[in-house]
Amino acid sequence: MAMRPLLRIPYTDPLPHPRIIPAAANSAAGAVVALTEFLAPSLRASSSASASSGNGKTVLLTGAGISVASGLADYRGSAGTYTLNKTYRPIYYNEFCENHEARKRYWARSFIGWTNLDRAKPNAGHKAVARLGELGVAAGCITQNVDSFHPTTHPSLPTIELHGYLRSLICLTCSSEYSRRSFQTQLSSLNPAWSTFLTHILTTGALTTENPLERRAKGLKTNPDGDVDIPDAPYTTFRYPACPVCLADPPTRENGAGRLRVEVDSDGAWRESSEGGVLKPAVIMFGESIPKSTKVRAEEAIDGAGRILVVGSSLATYSAWRLVKRARERGMPIGILNLGGVRGEDTFYADVPEGDRGARAVRVSENVESVLPEVVKELERMAR
């Protein structure tokens, strides 16, 4: 039987209430103690002969919760999109590929949202991850985030971007990559009225505040992945450019009968009569297959580590949840630092040893940016 492709699909069932493990980790201070206990074996392993192979070290799996302090929206937090906007529905891969109007809507919203994403910076949580790598505690990082903060903050600590990244676009026809910043400049040129509107909302401060409630009060609904919903906006007027590679040298049709038609209007906007040359963000959209190479690398990262720490993720996508499931099946200690419930956490912690203070299992519900840097400080003390 052929294996089904691994898709990025959201999980919509209610999440369980977090079961704090150990019980003493029910405060920020207790969480720091428990997480330090959990990561300490990896610190000791980093100075042993086995450290070079990664055995005993921790692999980190991060989600949107680690980037909230940078001003980016998450999905399921107290101020997350699914919490504040019950009608929110992300675009699916097949919609983007097949529907010109859906792409107009996507790129119009992304045009507004990109400003905030491009300006956002890594926070203390990302820097703590970098330090865990420097201490030899972390063997690598698997992230569901598409903001590129991890590879920017710790280029020497291997990062697997499970769901791709927003810093580039990729052509659906020729697979060429294209800079998102250059694309933004073209969008501004093709859509002068939208560009004026963007300038206006920037002056209102709607995109400078990190509080999603304040943004909503100013008429914007900020969603994950640089998406901004503007009620009653004329999305159908929005225009976007074609892939410059396909435009300059149209690819040959699959059957070899001539070249694909790639056409633009007098301003350079992609025309619906085109047969190719559509640029897509280099993220794995919902309903899209994760590349096999990425899937294999993520599995190898789990298999090569001694334990796993989930940071800022509810594991609401199967692609992330299955990695923790794999870690459990391998008998690895599992730690979770996430504010709120996590998919399947009852199963992950079904057999926690009595009296364990965090060495084998940790589950805390605290803010990443306030807890993880303190854990790093404790590990630094231990390393002296």
Distance, C-alpha 183 to centroid of its chain: 21
Where does CATH 3.40.50.1220 sit in the chain?
A: 28-69+122-163+290-383
Which of 126, 150, 154, 163 is the catalytic position? 163
Is residue 203 a contact partner of residue 239, using CB atoms and an 8 Å limit?
A: no
Q: What is the pLDDT of residues 156-211, one digit of tens each?
A: 999 999 999 999 999 999 999 999 999 999 999 999 999 998 887 777 665 555 45
Q: What token pair was written down for 148? A: 């590129």
Residues at the binding site are 171, 174, 243, 246
Give 309-333 as a DSSP string: EEES----BHHHHHHHHHHHHTT--
Residues at the binding site for Zn(2+) are 171, 174, 243, 246
CATH for the stretch 28-69+122-163+290-383: 3.40.50.1220
Q: What is the pLDDT of residue 213?
A: 57
Q: What is the pLDDT of residues 78-109, one digit of tens each?
A: 444 444 445 556 889 999 999 999 999 999 98
Label residue 126 exposed, middle or buried (CB < 10 Å: 0-12, 13-18, 19+): buried
Active site residue 163: yes
Residue 128 vs residues 27, 131, 166, 379: alpha-carbon distances, Å: 20, 5, 23, 11
DSSP state of 270: B
- Whole-number Å distance between alpha carbons of 246 and 174: 7
- pLDDT below 50 — which residues of the chain? 1-3, 49-54, 77-85, 210
Residue 205 vs residues 82, 229, 377: alpha-carbon distances, Å: 23, 16, 36
Label residue 51 exposed, middle or buried (CB < 10 Å: 0-12, 13-18, 19+): middle
Beta strands 159-161; 138-143: pairing state: parallel
- Whole-number Å distance between alpha carbons of 75 and 149: 18
**Beta partners for residue 308, in sequence order:** 59, 334
